[in-house]
Amino acid sequence: MDVPWTIREATSRDVAAAAALERRCFSDPWSEASIRETFAGPGMLNLVAVRGDMLEGYVIAHAIAGEAEILNLAVAPEVRGRRLGGRLLDAMLQHLRQAAVRQVFLEVRESNAAATGLYLSRGFEQVGRRARYYRRPEEDAIVLRLGLERPA
């Protein structure tokens, strides 16, 4: 399978491209200012997937005291279905293991079959539901959890 992306930690120089991708991927996108904050904040772990000078995916997580939350994951529409989302998620889970994280949580729109399929394929399990959590359009969130083993 063709895997032409380099996955690396995000820097402040990636903020504008990540915000542009965010706007293409979500109906209620984070602002560029929010992305800048998450790229710089304490406890944040951010990875981007680049091909040449194109940023085509990113994943954002926050870790504290052995727990982490995956806050955002996105892949450019034209390269979906080529396993980049899976590679980004796997790379993030590896970073979280190295950071001594023992469990990971995330929320996903109930109707988001692609993201839910990806998370379930990595062993996430449903542990809750938040009614009307999302807006534009309003929708419930499914809460997923994954326990992480210690790094080998």
Ligand X SMILES: CC(C)(COP(=O)(O)OP(=O)(O)OC[C@H]1O[C@@H](n2cnc3c(N)ncnc32)[C@H](O)[C@@H]1OP(=O)(O)O)[C@@H](O)C(=O)NCCC(=O)NCCS
Among 4, 43, 117, 151, binds ligand X (CB under 6 A): 117
CA separation for the pair 53, 117 (Å, rounded): 29
CB of 80 to ligand X, least distance (A): 3
CA separation for the pair 119, 88 (Å, rounded): 12
Is 81 a binding residue for ligand X by CB under 6 A? The answer is yes
Stretch that binds ligand X, among 32-40, 81-89, 94-102, 129-137 (CB under 6 A): 81-89
Among 6, 111, 121, 126, binds ligand X (CB under 6 A): 121
Is 92 a binding residue for ligand X by CB under 6 A? The answer is no
CA separation for the pair 92, 94 (Å, rounded): 5
CA separation for the pair 75, 135 (Å, rounded): 21
CA separation for the pair 25, 76 (Å, rounded): 7
Is 17 a binding residue for ligand X by CB under 6 A? The answer is no
Is 62 a binding residue for ligand X by CB under 6 A? The answer is no
